[in-house]
Copies of this chain bind each other. A is one copy, B any other.
């Protein structure tokens, strides 16, 4: 069907695009001409490595997607997934907010009609080294933690901007979810500190950070898990009461449990059985995917469930197939060192300092807000892993610590004439918003509401909080 003429046209288009890149200072060698099985699009993609430490052989992999329309007028948003140890390319880019989702067989791509590149240029980074296609030739680099991760990401941003100099003066937003509740504020912190040291030279034009279902403070985020289980009917009334009465989460940490009483520990373990194979604890209303061969067969006979509430619950499974394909990795300029392990969404290689999970992020958020950088904390309300119940209290505490008044009282926000979630704003700089019916991975289960929230965030607009709402927004 595709004749020589069209083939020539393709080559010509690629050539013109490459020349455009040169003119703009975009790195020609990182241009992704087309991903295997990808639908045609008008915007450009780049992917490749940024070397952080040449001596150690430590390099971070990135995937950059231009805004769908008028990319020159749109900001740059860096997206980071959490874990710690999970891939932002695998999570954010190809199953959440990027322009493509894997197809059902994992062998091609389909458009995500609610990609965040409608509102911004998007940059995804596998961070720290050891995650996704990021690597180090020095094994000890895989022993890492928050401080090294933030430092490497600052270095990454500086060097990435050397590759893409036109973004140096562009508005910059940092966003992410889950453990990126550590990454994003910590990166913003070192960026702001970098800016203060650069009296005359380049400064980052940081305009806001947004973190979804973020880990902020263990002593509130952990009890919130059990409050969520109880209030959503997942554990018994007795068990809920036992945890509430017997557990002291003050000073709780992942590594030390000495401050937890025996009855509390027993109760927490019992509740923990919820977090097993049979419930999607990142979205308790979504069904789970049965990826095994038997269930695949059942799915072919339409016996199993693949779609749930309009969401493909097997998307991670399909993605695992897609991103493992050698031709996909080649097209993305990924895996240039032929890593001795298969691609996986979360790394088993990185030995992350679990003590860092206990860090209280609120003081960092406070510094960011005090630098007049807006902070949005958003929360998919069906997530039991880092539920809204913790985040909401912590944002309130932060507002109180900042002596902020309530700028917009707690109430519903609207999208397409329906409640998109609930929102409160403090001091014109600090926003907490839930997304109704959304997962831990907010754009995954509620792409339309998530895009609305993100668009408002980068445009510096409040979420529409007045009813009756317009049906078009």
User: A interface vs B, CB < 8 Å?
Assistant: 227-228, 231-239, 274, 276-279, 284-285, 287-288, 290, 295, 298, 303-305, 308-310, 379, 381, 388-389, 392-393, 396, 409-410, 412, 414, 416-419, 421-422, 424, 434, 436-437, 467-469, 471-472
A233 touches B392 (CB 8 A): yes
**Across-interface contacts of A238 in B (CB, < 8 A):** 396, 410
**Across-interface contacts of A392 in B (CB, < 8 A):** 233, 236-237
Task: Decide yes or no: A417 and B290 within 8 Å by CB, A309-B309, A388-B233, A389-B231 being known contacts.
Answer: yes
A285 touches B285 (CB 8 A): yes
Distance A279 CA – B422 CA, assembled complex (angstroms): 11
**Across-interface contacts of A410 in B (CB, < 8 A):** 235-236, 238-239
B471 touches A295 (CB 8 A): yes
A227 touches B236 (CB 8 A): no
A278 touches B309 (CB 8 A): no
Distance A396 CA – B241 CA, assembled complex (angstroms): 13
A277 touches B471 (CB 8 A): no
**Across-interface contacts of A468 in B (CB, < 8 A):** 277-278
**Across-interface contacts of A287 in B (CB, < 8 A):** 418
Count of chain copies? 2
**Across-interface contacts of A288 in B (CB, < 8 A):** 418
**Which one, B236, B285, B396, B412, contacts A237 given CB within 8 A?**
B396
Task: Decide yes or no: A303 and B471 within 8 Å by CB, A236-B424, A278-B412, A309-B309 being known contacts.
Answer: yes
Identify the closest chain B residue to A437 (Cβ).
B285
**Which one, B228, B234, B416, contacts A422 given CB within 8 A?**
B234
Task: Decide yes or no: A393 and B227 within 8 Å by CB, A285-B285, A285-B436, A285-B437 being known contacts.
Answer: no
Distance A419 CA – B412 CA, assembled complex (angstroms): 30
**Across-interface contacts of A421 in B (CB, < 8 A):** 233
